[in-house]
Amino acid sequence: MSEEIQPQAPVATIGGIAAYDGQEVTIRGWLYNLRESGKLLFPIFRDGTGLIQGVMFKKAVPPEMFEALKNLQLESSVLVRGKVRADQRAPGGFELDITNLQVVQAVSQDDPFPITLKEHGVDFLMEHRHLWLRTPRQNAILRVRHEVIRAVRDYLDDHGFVLVDTPIFTPAACEGTTTLFETQYFDQKAYLTQSGQLYNEATCAALGKTYCFGPTFRDEKSKTRRHLTEFWMVEPEMAYAHMDDVMDLSEQFISYIVQRVLERRPAELKTIERNTAPLERVRPPFPRISYDEAVEILKRKGSEIQWGGDFGNADETLLGEEFDRPVMVHHYPAAIKAFYMQPDPQRPDLALGVDVIAPEGYGEVIGGGERMSDYNLLLQRIREQNLPPQAFAWYLDLRKYGSVPHAGFGMGIERVVAWVCGLEHVRETIAFPRMLYRLYP
């Protein structure tokens, strides 16, 4: 392995190659593909920022260099020097007339790169996720994810929310005890966080509007296309806010994120072959319907749902199909929602919770609502749910010292990326997914 080549030409990235038209540059990358035609070799290089086709003339380089490229295995790493030439037929608009090529590390002929252009099964690709990430489609998905995350941060930072990180080791459940990952914490039990919400409620009383953004964990034994055991959630929380404020923020937030990806990542969406027409429509206002209305719609569409039941994946898909943009469903039966939800004053059997359900079958992307602000009622709920009151003493304190109406939500990044990219499954939206049967690589 050697990297001794002294770049005699400026180092360029393929993504930024247009700035070098007519000049000689050095590209540091990998051999993505190779085609041979007599005295010509047509390698395609990738460097993480794009693909470019090179042309190597047998006569333009020393014979051993021509042979070296001719026999080079895909995904070998290379330093390539060449002159940039605009060519409208070329995929990125440019080609490279190669004058020098140095192999940094040659992949062995006996052990070629396992991922080829032919179809592979999902298990095989997942087992080789560390290498699969190099392919253009996966590259594009990760870039869209990055854009979604930048948009999330920009939106909240520009709207007065303060980022406050919440802990990952926690002493108690937030979203029900059935999906807790337990771990030993010195001489006591701890759980990996399911949500930073309870802590956000403390930080919003300190700072007004806050958010946390980090990995969250759920012991989800279900094998669906929407569930990971480790996923990233962004959670804004606002003091002096109600359920309507959650809906206002949700529609603005989601619309901003989707429009920003359309604006800044058109090339990636094209690589993924995403039909962007449905995304163009994602602008406020979003339809708002009650749980009662949602149940009526579902029954009409043939669902078996009964009033009081929670929506399954199939129900969410049916609801999503009914609207051309995300739909916000509010006023769920309190019995199917978390212990901390504020009851509706008119109908206390209903909770002031709201879920945002994405169109095109992507299901719930946001869950949130107004939090219970009364001390005694909250204590009662904690007891009813058999949660340990000692672990929630600090949380109850928030209702003792200047309790105010407050509200917020959590949005799963992977669900949003799957929807924006139009993917079959959330597993491709994160570099190294963690699922029921996947802990490697």
CA distance 156 to 163: 8
In angstroms, what is the minimal distance from the CB of 411 to ligand 4AD? 6
Site for ligand 4AD in 391-430 (CB under 6 A): 408-412, 414-415, 426
Q: Which stretch binds Mg ion (CB under 5 A): 74-82, 279-287, 304-312, 359-367?
A: 359-367
Q: Which amino acid is at 435?
A: M
Residues 210, 199 contacting (CB under 8 angstroms): no
Site for ligand 4AD in 336-365 (CB under 6 A): 364-365
User: 297 or 435, CB closer to ligand 4AD?
Assistant: 435
Site for ligand 4AD in 185-214 (CB under 6 A): 195, 197
User: 101 or 247, CB closer to Mg ion?
Assistant: 247
Site for ligand 4AD in 210-249 (CB under 6 A): 218, 220, 227-228, 231, 233, 235
User: 351 or 398, CB closer to Mg ion?
Assistant: 351
In angstroms, what is the minimal distance from the CB of 381 to Mg ion? 17
And the tokens for 438?
A: 């996947």
In angstroms, what is the minimal distance from the CB of 366 to Mg ion? 8
Please pick, from the candidates 9, 173, 350, 366, the single residue that binds ligand 4AD as defined by CB under 6 A.
Answer: 366
φ and ψ of 310, to 5 deg: -85, 150
3-state secondary structure 300-339: HCCCCCCCCCCCCHHHHHHHHHCCCCCEEEEEEEHHHCCC
And the tokens for 321?
A: 């199909």
408 binds Mg ion (CB under 5 A): no
H or E element in which residue 205 lies? helix 197-207
And the tokens for 307?
A: 């009033």
In angstroms, what is the minimal distance from the CB of 218 to ligand 4AD? 5
3-state secondary structure 129-160: HHHHCCCHHHHHHHHHHHHHHHHHHHHHHHCC
CA atoms within 13 Å, Cβ hemisphere of 168: 10
Please pick, from the candidates 305, 367, 406, 423, the single residue that binds ligand 4AD as defined by CB under 6 A.
Answer: 367
Please pick, from the candidates 44, 174, 204, 243, the single residue that binds ligand 4AD as defined by CB under 6 A.
Answer: 174
φ and ψ of 178, to 5 deg: -80, -20
User: 96 or 352, CB closer to ligand 4AD?
Assistant: 352
Neighbours of 176 (CB within 10 A): 13
C-alpha of 345 from chain center = 36
In angstroms, what is the minimal distance from the CB of 228 to ligand 4AD? 4
Residues 80, 101 contacting (CB under 8 angstroms): yes
Site for Mg ion in 365-404 (CB under 5 A): 367
Which residues would be at the binding site for ligand 4AD (CB under 6 A)? 174-175, 195, 197, 218, 220, 227-228, 231, 233, 235, 364-368, 408-412, 414-415, 426
**Binding-site ranges for Mg ion (CB under 5 A):** 367
